[in-house]
Amino acid sequence: MPIIAVVGNKGGAGKTTLSINLASGMSRQGGIAVIDADPQGSSLHWRAVANHEDAFPVHSANGAMRDQARDLALHYQDVLIDCPPSVHAPQTIAALGFADVALIPVQPSPVDLWATVHIERAIAEAKAENPSLKALLVINQLESRTTLSGLVREVLDEIALPVAQVAIRRRAVYRNSALEGKSVFDVGSRGADAVEEINALIQELKTQ
């Protein structure tokens, strides 16, 4: 799974959180580089706060992102691209044009899931240029101790994109670790449950 684009059409779905934590997990299994393709620069910001040598590299997207990503893919096992919160953004369109996998975090609310219709369309359009593109929706910020409601399941069934078996729960450690320039892998037992679900998502990505 060399090039993974983390995309979406809603702000705050968890693209940056998943990018940082997946990259942190993947960096323990092999080399990983992140490209921050979002003008907000959140992943770059995290990397600046992290400020320690053993954290994975985060690069700012340059004008020729396809070449940049392919170049990084020669040196790293995986490349992850944190995209802006719109499928119409030029950076998202560019990334979907060459990525191997589009990972799409969505919150488990019908309103957020309905917005994924735009993503479905964007993925279908990208496949014209990039036929081998695979897409995987992942539920993020699932409330603990609640299961997906019936309505959310109904909406999920209508979406013609595969949904990851693992759902990422809403956990304070995702916010707190980021504040410290860390991932859930860097905070010991506080992060154990989150580490488990992020590793499970990495496994699912590997079988794409």
Query: Where on the chain is the footprint of ligand ATP (CB under 6 A)?
Result: 8, 11-17, 38, 40, 42, 85, 140-141, 168, 170-171, 174-175, 178
Amino acid code (one letter) for 123: I
Does an H or E element contain 35, and which? Answer: strand 32-36
Single out the segment in contact with Mg ion by CB under 5 A; choices: 26-34, 41-49, 123-131, 151-159. 41-49
Residue closer to ligand ATP by CB (options 10, 76) is: 10
Structure tokens at 127: 């496949």
User: Which of ligand ATP, Mg ion, none lies near 170, with the C-beta cut-off 5 to 8 A by kind?
Assistant: ligand ATP
Classify burial at 85, counting beta carbons within 10 Å of its beta carbon; exposed 0-12, middle 13-18, buried 19 or more. middle
Q: Is 141 in the site for Mg ion (CB under 5 A)?
A: no
Contact 177, 184 (CB under 8 A): yes
Question: Min. distance of Cβ 147 from ligand ATP in angstroms?
Answer: 16
User: Which of ligand ATP, Mg ion, none lies near 17, with the C-beta cut-off 5 to 8 A by kind?
Assistant: ligand ATP
- Give me the sheet containing 78-82, strands edge to edge: 58-60, 32-36, 78-82, 3-6, 101-106, 134-142, 168-169
Residue closer to Mg ion by CB (options 39, 162) is: 39
Cα separation, 44 vs 35, in Å, equals 9
Among 9, 24, 27, 42, binds Mg ion (CB under 5 A): 42
Q: Strand pairing partners for 7?
A: none
Question: Min. distance of Cβ 75 from ligand ATP in angstroms?
Answer: 25
Q: Is 10 in the site for Mg ion (CB under 5 A)?
A: no
Instruction: Choose among 74, 1, 78: nearest CA to 35.
Output: 78
Single out the segment in contact with Mg ion by CB under 5 A; choices: 11-19, 26-34, 95-103, 147-155. 11-19
First vs last Cα of the chain: how many Å apart?
7
Single out the segment in contact with Mg ion by CB under 5 A; choices: 34-42, 62-70, 102-110, 139-147. 34-42
Binding site for Mg ion (CB under 5 A): 15-16, 42
